[in-house]
Amino acid sequence: MAADKHDAAMKDASQAVNDIMAQYQKMGLNALTLMGGDLVERLSDMGSEVLDFVTKRVKEDVELQHKLLHCRDLNEMQHLQGEFLQRAINSYTDETGKMFEMSTAFWMNGFSAISKKD
């Protein structure tokens, strides 16, 4: 039941983004100038978020390699790898959610700015 609601919400959000993209395509490059500084700021925020995430992931990768080099047995190695994998799954899941929210806000706010100027 919850999965159905989630799937429906994702479908609705995807359709909204597709509709907005179609509007942008109809307007051509003029849509970018109508959004102005807000577009650049939001794109910059999204870029910073991605770079921060990649930096954290690389740091965790290096830490894992260091810990693996100092393992004394296979059980410890398996434990470290399992913990790393779970943290990675959680991190990627959280980051995907953040990027989805940021991109949704980007498109919705951009579309609102265009609608107000029409």
The whole-number pLDDT of residue 81 equals 97
Torsion of CA 64, 70, 71, 77, to 10 degrees: 10
The whole-number pLDDT of residue 39 equals 74
In tens digits, the chain (118 residues) has pLDDT values of 566 776 777 777 778 777 777 776 676 656 556 656 677 788 888 989 999 999 999 999 999 999 999 999 999 999 999 999 999 999 999 999 999 999 888 877 765 554 555 5
The whole-number pLDDT of residue 111 equals 58
Cα separation of 44 and 62, whole Å?
Answer: 27
The whole-number pLDDT of residue 51 equals 93
To the nearest 5 percent, what fractions of the chain are helix, strand and coil?
A: 90, 0, 10
